[in-house]
Amino acid sequence: MTINLTRRGLLASTMAGAATMALGRAALGQTRTLNALSHLVHQNVLTKGSAGDVIAPWCKAAGAEITWTTLDSNPLQDRLFREASLGRTTFNVGFVVDNRMTPQIAGLFEPLDGYQASDPIEDIDDIAPGLRRAMTVGGKTVGIPVRHATQALFYNEALLEEAGIAAPPTTVEELVEQAKKLTFTSAAGTPVTGMILASDLAVFPVMFARAFGGDFIGADFRVVPNREAMEKGLSVLADLFQARALPRSYANTRNDDMVTWLQQGRAAFGVLPFARFAQLNNPEQSSVPGKIKAVEFPGSATLPAGSTMAAVVESWAMVIPANSADKDLSWSFIKAVSSKAVTLGAARNGNGPVRVSTYADADFAAAQPLARIESAALAKARPAFPAFPEAVRAQATFLEEVQLAVLGRKTPQEAVAAIVERVTPLMPA
């Protein structure tokens, strides 16, 4: 059984609770309550959809009911960290996004290695390693991944065919070549830009840097660990802009613009999470439903042998506040949600499954055209940068210099030097 509390309903339910507390205790008997603080999507993928209520069997077996308090992403994180900072919280489980898990924040949550040792999650190695690493802080596991959004390269198959391009690119060099060729006026009379990218997220320049073996911030918090690779990535973006294969409005382009341009046939390529596939091909919104396809974002032909292109991934994980009660019940819930069966059911309900094996399920793969491709990308994916207290400022500084390079106001070399100089002081000691 589950109960949902939104922000709007929280006050009313609190007032009602005082009046019915005595009756509720008698009615529940031995039933325990697990209080979960999450986004609505986390509740929905566990309780409704084509697979139905996939957490109901756990509720019955554990003799528990779930009370869901759901908030939007940023308010959710603020509320969770505030609750975990109190002397005691009534929340048993919270959901946290990977880029907020700094060492200070990690200290608010129960280390989970002891639970895993005594009562292990089923085949935990099946959960994508990049997602697990994001929830390991100071050598301790503080969260169990539950949902991810991994970036893909989307393309308009109809536009490629019109331009005489037989297949999507397999290297970033081919991507640049095709994007330039696809900057044209289509047969329908639509001006087409080769590629659409938002300018306000680090995801996109990081993907281009990784295509050459680089990064923005390494796992050891070194800023731009490979300058040459970052310079090459920014050079590619600047070249695309100069060739008009990026929109003139690049500096003001946002995520929703990317979706719209792809749906309207105004852009041939875009970088978005695999989960956007259905939206991009929605016949009620797209001018080319069924023609928007996706592949893994390609690496450079110059990548050293044995190296791989690591797509950017954002993920959510389940945590137990260190100041909460009944942590055994919390772990029991986390263990159930992390099982192969529930992960598969939640995926059928629309979740981004964190287990690689989920994509191999025949029925799931048949219903998800990108399952095989997404699985391969997820196995190698990692966050855009590690979590640290000054991450917001660091990203803003990074994007400022990237934009100057793309627009031609700085050389890529000058921009990279400025990134290193300005962002390094923001790194944790």
Residue 261 is inside which H or E element, if any?
A: helix 255-263
Report which DSSP code applies to 359. Answer: G
Q: What is the pLDDT of residues 218-253, one digit of tens each?
A: 989 999 999 999 999 999 999 999 999 999 999 999
CATH architecture of 2-149+314-380: 3-Layer(aba) Sandwich (3.40)
Report which DSSP code applies to 111. Answer: -
Q: What is the pLDDT of residues 147-157, one digit of tens each?
A: 998 999 999 99
Is residue 302 over pLDDT 50? yes
Give domain limits for the chain: 2-149+314-380, 150-311+386-426
Per-residue confidence band for 10, with pLDDT thresholds at 50, 70 and 90: very low
Distances (CA, A) of 227 to 15, 86, 385, 408, 420: 58, 43, 16, 18, 9
Q: What is the pLDDT of residues 92-119, one digit of tens each?
A: 999 999 989 999 999 999 999 999 999 9
> What is the Cα–Cα distance from 353 to 360, expressed in whole angstroms?
11
Q: What is the pLDDT of residues 332-351, one digit of tens each?
A: 999 999 999 999 999 998 89
Q: Do 2-149+314-380 and 150-311+386-426 show the same overall fold?
A: yes
User: According to the CATH classification, is domain 150-311+386-426 in 3.40.190.10?
Assistant: yes
Q: Which whole number is the average pLDDT over 183-210?
A: 96
Give me the pLDDT at residue 266, please: 97
Global pTM reads 0.80
